[in-house]
Each structure stands twice: as structure tokens, then as C-alpha cells.
Structure 1
Amino acid sequence: MEVTDLISITTFCTHYNVPTTFINDLKDYELIEIVVTNNDNYIKTTQISEVEKLMRLHFDLNINLEGLDAVYNLLQRVENMQNQITSLNNKLRLYEDL
């Protein structure tokens, strides 16, 4: 993985004004993946929107880490079900057009 696909945790935390312990806690709860390269910790740039969502839930709504874990997993299940519904609707339209 190239470093251009990663953002340093210290840079991220400085930019968003959040403690690095929050990012480490997200990793401990397996909500995000941290990549270690050259003795520095990084977040994948594809995960930034997810981390922002978790930050809003935690800091704006005061949801603790256990709650974040539950809410995040439920949101993923809802998103998966929405994708399945879209796929099934597309298949159904294919048969309705016949």
C-alpha cells in the first residue's frame, strides 16, 4: 500500500482536533484499521468518512465507545440490506419488463 493512500494519525487528529487516544480506541473496538509503516500509524484515506461519522456520534451525541460499536454495526447492516433491496428491485424490474 502506498503512503499516498494513507493519512498520519497525528496529522488527522491535529486537523480534526481530536485526541489520538480516540483513534486508538476505535482500533481497539475494531471499528477502523490502522496501518503501521515506518514506525508511524496511519489511517486509510478510504476510512476518513467513516471516522468522521464515528467522531460526530461520539463527540456531538455523547455516545460512548460501546454504543459506537453497536450503532456502527447496525448502520452497516442497514446499508447492506439497502444494497440487497436495490439489487432485488433491479432484478425484479428485469422480469417485469418481459
Structure 2
Amino acid sequence: MRDRVLVSVNEIMIHHQLDDTFINQVENYQLVSFVIKNSQKFIIADEMPRMEKIIRLHYDLDINMEGIEVIKNMLDRMEALQDEVRKLQNRLNIYE
């Protein structure tokens, strides 16, 4: 199994000037998966774009966590539909 690259939540908080409350809300709404290692909290590096998007939505656009959760769910559904369309197009290309 390949090792996952982890990013320290403390580093994210310092870099983006976040407080513990924001991180706890993100965790409570399960918007990003956190990993506990050596009693420190980390985010998998692959989830950093999602975390940064959440930070921008909340602080730049003043969207609350409930709104961010709805946006996340809609984007996840849209991505799944796009994947399904891609698969169907590939299957259709076989017959052309």
C-alpha cells in the first residue's frame, strides 16, 4: 500500500489564518477527512483543493457551513454524473 502524503492542520491554520472553530466545523460537517497521527490532526494532501475551496467559500463569499455542505453534495453529484456520461460516451464510441 502506498503512503499517503499528509498536511498538518496546524500549518493550514497558520497559512490561512484560521481558528480552531472553523476546523471543528469542517470536521463536524464531514466536509474533509482528517487523519490523527501522533496525536496531531492532518489532512490527506489530495483533499487540500477541497479544503481551500471550503475556506474561500466561507471567508470570501461568507457562506455558512450548511450552505457549503449543500454545495459540496451538489458538486459530488455533478462529478458522478459527468463520470457516468463519460463512461456512456466511451461505450457508445465502440459502436460508431
Q: If the length of structure 2 is used for normalisation, what is the TM-score?
A: 0.90
Q: 1: distance between equivalents of 2:24 and 2:6?
A: 16
Figure out how many residues of one structure are paired with residues of the other and give that number.
95
Partners in 2 of 1:9 and 1:45 — Cα distance?
11
Q: 1:27-72: per-residue Cα shift (whole Å, max 9, x none)?
A: 1001111111111111111110010111111111111001111110
* Structure 2 residues not aligned, in runs of 5+: none
Instruction: Report the residue type matching 1:95 in the other structure.
Output: Y
Q: What are the ranges of 5 or more consecutive residues in structure 1 without an aligned counterpart?
A: none
Q: How does 1:41-80 map to 2 (within 5 A)?
A: 41-80=41-80
State the AA in 2 paired with 1:56.
R
Aligned amino acid, residue 14 of structure 2: T
Q: Is residue 21 of structure 1 aligned with residue 21 of structure 2?
A: yes
Aligned CA-pair RMSD: 1.5
Partner of 1:35: 35
